[in-house]
Structure 1
Amino acid sequence: MTPDRRYFVSEGRLCRCPNPLLDEVTRSRLHEDLVNAQSTAEAALRSGDAMALRTARARVRTAKVALGERGPVWWTDGAPDYSDQSVEQTPYADWYASSSG
């Protein structure tokens, strides 16, 4: 996790962390919604059901936005969003290079 706790690194790319201001009950419910939607999307992909896949992917996106992982950033200091960018191409590059990654 980055020092400001906004991102974690996956395969060299920054991924936004959930909004830490969400209460535990809400965060847990949204995480469960996300996991269920991802599972449904995987099943739809395996079965070749294009309509179910579109619906499941929309549910995944909705859950990620509600968690703060997508959509508007949850921090309020005006810092830009570096989600899905190579960590080496962001202001976190020096931190990443000096950490274990």
Structure 2
Amino acid sequence: MTEETPSAEEDRRWLVIKGRRWRRTDPALPEELVTALKSHLGRGRSGVAAGKKTGDAERVTASRKRVGLAKTGLGERGPYWWELPEAQRISAAKAALTELDALDPEDETASQ
């Protein structure tokens, strides 16, 4: 028995790491939008780790919200990006970034 080779379409949609399948970032998103969303994703992940290390449950919760919004904006969570019109996907990513940018003042105050 041999493993089935994924189609080019499947390769475009999914990434397999250590046998686990992860949804790829929506390729239709403009690079500057992806960069901004990934910046928020990195800050969120760092915040989760720091909050866990210090036992700050509020920081963990706020940081997980940032991670979730960023991943949804990137198309890695929520509806499958390949099932939605491109304009709708870009609009949703921009809306996620707007919401993420609005979190910054709260996060800066919480971390001081």
TM-score, normalised to structure 2, is 0.64
State the structure with more CA Rg.
Answer: 2
Alignment length (residue pairs)? 76
Partners of 1:55 and 1:11 in 2: CA distance:
29
Matched, 1:54 2:61: yes
- Helix, strand or coil for the counterpart of 1:15? strand
Query: Shift of residue 11 of structure 1?
Result: 2.0
Task: Report the equivalent of 1:92.
Answer: none
Match of 1:75 among 82, 103, 106: 82
- Helix, strand or coil for the counterpart of 2:82? coil
Task: Report the equivalent of 2:44.
Answer: 37
Match of 2:17 among 7, 10, 16: 10
RMSD: 1.3
1:17-72: CA deviation from partner (whole Å, max 9, x where unpaired): 00000001101100111011101111001111111101100110000000000011
Consecutive unaligned residues of structure 2, counting only runs of 5 or more, are 1-5, 85-112
Moved over 4 A (4+): none
Matched, 1:22 2:41: no
Give the structure, 1 or 2, with the largest relative contact order (CA under 8 Å, sep 6 or more): 1
Structure with the higher helix share, 1 or 2: 2
Any residues of structure 2 matched to 1:78-97 within 5 Å, and which? none
